[in-house]
Structure 1
Amino acid sequence: MILVIGATGQIGSKIVTHLLANGQQVRCVARKFPNKELFRGAEFAIGDINHVAFLADAMRGCTAAFIMIPPDMKATEVRFYQNKIGEVIAEAIEEVGLKKVVNLSSVGAELEAGTGPILGLHDQEERLNEITHADIVHLRPTFFMENLLAGIPSIISMNRFFGTTPGDVPLHMIATRDIAARAAFLLMNPNFTSHNVEYLLGERELTFNEAIGILGNTIQKPDLEYVEVPPQEMRNYYIGAGMSEDWADSLLEMEAALANGTINATVSRDKVNTTATSIEEFARTTFLDAYRKAMTTDITHRTPPSRDAHI
């Protein structure tokens, strides 16, 4: 039995799909499952991962687990929230004696300051590394291509995509399907030992100008424009969209660390950490599907800008 925390999320749901397609027994953890038919064949552990007893019960009988700290954009203190959840996860692993763990972390997780929400993932890596009985892989993916979906309302209403990062700064970008594929492989083939780090950097580096240009051509908007906006303007948007002030400030700190190269300087691209899905493939599949769906609904009244729900 393999446990998947965050089974309804962008990465967790894809991991579950991989595992079930390969005949694995899967136990899915989430607060709720609005579309249980998508998880046919899996077991459900429905509850709050703030509680050690619940999570330990969910882990019992499992040979491996995918773990993550689900983001809560309304949390008033980001790092406190992350550490609270992280402590529960670690305590449950220790209580049950789980042997094999794949932990979702992030590029930049080795840095001790200046990376916003990645700091909570830094803390979690250190916490998990104190568990000596468990073999652990910390997956450190880069910026999710799926973050680009948040710009669809402004693309529809204004033919623009807004962000705080300069449009000509090269960034690594990855499709979450590639993160899920690697996580599923490790869970099905848990031959790793000790504590390890794996980077996942996407198919190639891209600037926002390049990425948005490709998206625009795919949706037949060749004049689609990437527009850099001041951090304060983005902060106001984030808070207006429902984020806590600390989350907004935390995301802006992370965006600044991406823009100035602090995070990218921690890793170099090679054949091992380069993944398959290109921005062109993402554009004609995931992005195009989301764009078409949005075009059939009344969303053009929404106010831009939007970006970076999570790295």
Structure 2
Amino acid sequence: MILVIGATGHIGSKIVTHLLAHGQKVRCVARHFPNKEDFQGAELAQGDANNVGFLMEAMRGCSAIFTLIPPNPQAEEVRFYQNKFGEVIAEAIEEAGIKKVVNLSSVGADLESGTGPILGLHDQEERLSEITHADIMHLRCTYFMENLIAGLPSIIGMNRMFGTINGEVPIPMVATRDIAARAAFLLMNPDFKSHNVEYLLGERDISMNEAAKILGRAIGHDDLEYVEVPPQEMRNYYIGAGLTEDWADVYLEMEEAFGNGTIAGTFQRDKVNTTATSLEEFARTTFADAFNKALARQNQIRFQQQQSGGEARP
């Protein structure tokens, strides 16, 4: 039995799909399963992964587990939240006697400051590495291509992408499908021993200016632009979008670390850590699909507003 924590997320759901397709017995952990039909063939453990007792029970009988600290944009103190969650996971692994662990981490997790939410993953790597009986693989993944989907409202409304990263600076970007594929392989073939680190850096480094052109072509917006904005302006946007002040601050710190080379200086690209999915492929598939759905929702809302307005006229 293989346990997947965060089974309804971008990465966890794809890991489950991989494992089931290869005939593995899978137990899925999530707070809610809104579409249980997507998990046919798997055991569902619905509950709070921030509870040691619940996690220990979910881990019972498992030969390997995938673990992560899910982001919580409502957390008032990000690192405190991450460490509390991480402590629960580590305690459950220790008490349940799990032998093989694949842990989702991040590039820059070896740094002790200046990386925003990655600092919580630095703490978790150190915490898990204190568990001597478990063999652990820390997957240090780079900037998710899926992060670009968050820019859809401004792309649809203004034909622009906004951010604080210098538009000319190339950064590595990885598709979550590639992370899931590697994680699933490791869970099915847990030959790793002791405590290890593996980087997943995407197909190549890409600047935000280049990314805007690639995404724009995929959705028929050839003139899509990336616009660099001051951090304070971006902070206000993040808070307005629902992030707490601390989440906005740490996210901006992470973006600065990507843009100024702090994180890039911690690794080197090679054939092993270069993954398959290009931004062009991601743009044609995942991003274009998200764009079309967002556009359809917006058009539906406009239609409903027009209908409502029409009914209100005398």
Q: Same fold (TM over 0.5)?
A: yes
Which residue of structure 2 aligns with residue 307 of structure 1? Answer: none
Partner in structure 2 of residue 108 of structure 1: 108
CA distance in 2, matches of 1:164, 1:97: 44
In 2, Cα distance between the equivalents of 1:34 and 1:134? Answer: 33
Q: Note if 1:154 corresponds to 2:154.
A: yes
SS in 2 for 1:277: coil
Equivalent in the alignment of 2:252: 252
Q: How far did 1:298 drift?
A: 1.6
CA distance in 1, matches of 2:242, 2:167: 26
Percent identity between matched residues is: 75
SS at match of 2:297: coil
Question: Does the CA contact (< 8 Å) of 1:157 and 1:300 recur in 2?
Answer: no
Tell me, yes or no, if structure 1 residue 132 matches structure 2 residue 129: no
- Aligned to 2:242, the other structure's residue is in SS state coil
Tell me the secondary structure at the aligned position of residue 298 of structure 1: helix
Displacement, 1:299? 7.1
* 8 A contact 1:202–1:274 mirrored in 2: yes
Which amino acid in 2 is paired with 1:267?
F
Using a 3 Å threshold, how does the CA distance of structure 1 residues 149 and 177 change in structure 2: closer, same or farther?
A: same
Residue identity opposite 2:223 in structure 1: D
Please state how far the C-alpha of 1:291 moved relative to its aligned partner: 0.8
Runs of 5+ unmatched residues, structure 2? 302-314
2:229 alignment partner in structure 1? 229
8 Å CA contact 1:141, 1:201 repeated in 2: yes
RMSD over aligned Cα atoms: 1.2
Q: Distance in 1 between matches of 2:39 and 2:69?
A: 21
Cα distance in 1 for partners of 2:85, 2:112 equals 19
In the alignment, is residue 38 of structure 1 matched against residue 38 of structure 2? Answer: yes
Q: Give the equivalent residue in structure 1 for 2:311.
A: none
Letter aligned with residue 92 of structure 1: A
Aligned length: 302
Residue 206 (structure 2) pairs with residue 243 (structure 1): no
Name the structure 2 match of 1:187: 187
Distance (Å, rounded) in 2 between the aligned partners of 1:280 and 1:298: 25
Report what 1:304 is aligned to.
none
Worse-matched range after superposition: 217-226 or 121-130: 217-226
CA distance in 1, matches of 2:94, 2:163: 41
* Partner deviation per Cα, 1:120-149 (whole Å, 9 max, x = no partner): 000000000000000000000000000011
| Structure 1 match to 2:50 | 50
Q: Distance in 2 between matches of 1:300 and 1:262?
A: 43
- How far apart in 2 are the matches of 1:281 and 1:51? 39
Alpha-carbon separation, structure 2, partners of 1:244 and 1:129:
30
Residue 11 of structure 2 corresponds to residue 11 of structure 1 = yes
Which SS does the other structure have where 1:246 is aligned? helix
Q: Does 1:145 align with 2:145?
A: yes
Query: Which runs of 5 or more structure 1 residues have no equivalent in the other structure?
Result: 302-311
1:71-104 Cα distance to aligned partner (Å, 9 max, x none): 1001000000000000000000000100000000
Give, in whole Å, the separation in 1 of the partners of 2:87 and 2:300. Answer: 41
User: What residue identity is the alignment partner of 1:19?
Assistant: L
C-alpha distance in 1, partners of 2:230/2:98? Answer: 46
CA distance in 2, matches of 1:124, 1:300: 43
Q: Which residue of 2 aligns with 1:308?
A: none
Residue pair 1:64, 1:98 contacting (<8 A) in 2 also: yes
Structure 1 residue 241, shift from structure 2 partner: 1.1
CA distance in 2, matches of 1:207, 1:131: 39
Instruction: Return the letter of the residue paired with 2:20.
Output: L
TM-score for both structures, normalised by structure 2:
0.95
SS of residue matched to 1:108: coil
**TM-score, normalisation: structure 1:** 0.96
1:269 and 2:278 aligned: no
- Residue 12 of structure 1 aligns with an amino acid whose one-letter code is G
Which of the pair has the greater relative contact order for Cα pairs under 8 Å at 6+ separation? Answer: 1
Where 2:227 maps in the other structure, the secondary structure is strand
After TM superposition, give the deviation of residue 153 of structure 1 in Å.
Answer: 1.1
How far apart in 1 are the matches of 2:275 and 2:176?
A: 10
Higher-helix-fraction structure: 2
Letter in 1 for 2:10: Q
Q: Which runs of 4+ in 1 moved over 6 A?
A: none
| Aligned-residue offset at 1:187 | 0.1
Distance in 1 of aligned mates of 2:253 and 2:300: 29
Cα separation, 2, equivalents of 1:299 and 1:29: 35
Residues 1:178 and 2:163 are matched in the alignment? no
